Amino acid sequence: MKTKLLAASAVVAMLAAGGFAAHAAAKAPAKPAAHAAPTAAEAKAFVARAEEALAKESEYASRAQWVQNTYITDDTNWLTAKANAEATDLSVRYAKEAARFNGVKVDAVTRRKLELLKGGLVMPAPGRPGASQELADIQARLDTAYSTGKVTIDGKTMGLDDLDDALRTERDPAKIKAMWDGWHAVAKPMKGDYAKLTALANQGSRELGYPDTGALWRSWYDMPPDDFGRETDRLWAQVEPFYKNLHCYVRARLNDKYGDAVQPRKGPIRADLLGNMWAQEWGNIYDIVAPKAGAGLNYDLTKQLVDHGYDPVKMVKTGEGFYTSLGFSPLPDTFWKRSQITRPRDREVVCHASAWDIDNKQDLRIKMCTRVNADDFFTVHHELGHNFYQRAYADQPFLFKNGANDGFHEAIGDFVGMNALTPTYLKQIGLIDTVPGAEADIPLLLKRALDKVAFLPWGLLVDKWRWEVFSGRVTPEQYNKAWWDLRLKYQGVTPPDERPADAFDPGAKFHVADSTPYMRYFLADIYQYQFYRAACRQAGWNGPLNRCSVYGDKEVGQRFQAMLELGQSKPWPEALKTFTGEDRLDASAITEYYKALNDWLTQQNKGEACGW
């Protein structure tokens, strides 16, 4: 089961899941009377009853899910699946009752809450007896298969985190391919369960009045679902030329490194060569694509962290320090006592980073297997963004305890994470002694674009694939072909070998196996630059945008807090305007941030056959 309502209060970030207590079903909404047309008073009373029940049950659900994520056993899987199934039953019944009031004239707040209740499920189960348990059991199997997957390479057993570490630095294409193939093979057995999960969720979505689950997901953005699909295409069109310029440059450098036999100089890029299991971020191959001439960065952030004695707790303390510098209160003592900051040695856990609000008040936590490196330095700042957002809207009614949309929740942390990687900030907190001069801007921007800009097409295509699957345009037999068709179209990448007929490569990504919607990350990659540009303008920054740091600026913090406090109480354009003064998504902040790099890439790509 997936419910956005629970995710809003309990598990937000890269993992959005949850479940209600076993006794939730006993407190399900009463079936509506059929003899009279519903009234505005009844609608308001229903919403109040729903909020009270959902808020009361969510803490139990959060704790159950926390235990399962931090202690994976057959028993915790069973308990979570049971809680999730009961949550689905409860949430579906509330959603269906909310639909009774579609034609009733009610006040704006009640109407917004009714719409949130109707769209509050991520993977709704059908209403028939046993369907919720069936869906929850399938989801638990998929989660477990992913989280416990292991690969044997040269006699060594490796989990995904081990493979991630190895891919950062491995440059032997044969070994890279072996790791890539090994992990993608882990996903192959998930295909049958995924098809069953899709069919169940689609049945549930249709019962709620949506054509399919993809339409349900697209309904979350304060506009008609089809309009949202077109909006994502508009945003991609703003950044696609820049991405293709970056792709062209990187492909040429990979060809220089490996030769035509491994990476041709024309056409798509071999996905496994990009330093990341999914080719979603390319920063790990910076050593291959770094500019050959001119000054580079005069520091390595991972080395600086190690040399300055950082450990995982100090990483998190530093992240907290950014938010408190803006005027936010420190995290509660319980955060430090109850969070999972490092990977336990005695049990299986979900290492995928996430932020949690257990009680919708002050019991904030993160769950990470933190390592002392530049990536996790960014991730710490990002995850804490969820926690500070959760606390900012803690006084909102339960149904408004969420981000303005799911992209907002991701963008808050990403905006701060961008600041965390800025040399100005690193000097402010003592990690480097001097800020590199203007000659380092191209290396700095290139390194950042390899992660942030390279991510954009990936962030777009994951849900575009699922939208096609949910709609029935792509059948289980076509899963893998459709996946690679989209990856070629948007990313310009291909697999390192011909894929087996029964492969299920989408399942090699956590968010697919876990049924976590992904468009939020694409949106977040755009929102964060709007947030960043607005914050720097407010701070009076006059230099290059990529060098701005708002660390310690309490006036920026006040306006930032004003946006966060709104939660989901207003349509996202109103929340956006509160902080930025703009009420429409605009990817021009990205091209503005990277203009110098894009100009440089254009010069470097002269004579190359760009595109694929």
Give residue-wise pLDDT tens across range 382-435. 999 999 999 999 999 999 999 999 999 989 999 999 999 999 999 999 999 999
Classify residue 290: in a domain, yes or no. no
- pLDDT, greater one: 203 or 62: 203
At residue 195, the pLDDT reads 98
Which of 146, 167, 197 marks a domain boundary? Answer: 146
Q: Mean pLDDT throughout 581-599?
A: 94
**Taking the model in full, what pTM does it have?**
0.85
Percent of the chain exceeding pLDDT 70 equals 93
Q: If pLDDT is split at 50, 70 and 90, which confidence band does 16 have?
A: very low
Classify residue 538: in a domain, yes or no. yes
At residue 119, the pLDDT reads 84
Classify residue 365: in a domain, yes or no. yes
Q: How many domains does the chain have?
A: 2
Which residues, in sequence order, are CB contacts of 94 under 8 Å at separation 6+? 29, 50, 54, 117, 120
Give burial (CB, 10 Å; 0-12/13-18/19+) of 465: buried
In the predicted model, is pLDDT for residue 4 greater than 70?
no
Q: If pLDDT is split at 50, 70 and 90, which confidence band does 294 have?
A: low
At residue 2, the pLDDT reads 53
In the predicted model, is pLDDT for residue 21 greater than 60?
no
Q: If pLDDT is split at 50, 70 and 90, which confidence band does 26 have?
A: very low
In the predicted model, is pLDDT for residue 11 greater than 70?
no
Q: Mean pLDDT throughout 213-228?
A: 95
Which of 117, 146, 175 marks a domain boundary? Answer: 146
Length of the chain: 612
| Phi, psi of 327, rounded to the nearest 5 degrees | 110, 0
**54 pairs with which residues across the strands?**
none
Which of 146, 176, 199 marks a domain boundary? Answer: 146
What's the CA gap between 160 and 552, in Å, rounded?
37
523: containing domain = 301-435+519-581
Angle, helices 595-604 vs 225-258, to 10°: value is: 50
Say which amino acid occupies 452.
Answer: K
In the predicted model, is pLDDT for residue 447 greater than 80?
yes
Classify residue 189: in a domain, yes or no. no
CB 101 within 8 A of CB 168: no
**8-state DSSP, 346:** S
Q: Mean pLDDT throughout 499-528?
A: 95
In the predicted model, is pLDDT for residue 174 greater than 80?
yes
Structure tokens at 351: 């290492």
Classify residue 406: in a domain, yes or no. yes
Angle, helices 191-207 vs 131-147, to 10°: value is: 140
Classify residue 556: in a domain, yes or no. yes
CB 131 within 8 A of CB 14: no
Q: Mean pLDDT throughout 320-343?
A: 97
Q: If pLDDT is split at 50, 70 and 90, which confidence band does 37 have?
A: confident
Classify residue 337: in a domain, yes or no. yes
In the predicted model, is pLDDT for residue 24 greater than 70?
no
Number of neighbours of residue 281 by Cβ within 10 angstroms: 19
Classify residue 532: in a domain, yes or no. yes
DSSP string, 137-194: HHHHHHHHHHHT--EEETTEEE-HHHHHHHHHH---HHHHHHHHHHHHHHHGGGHHHH
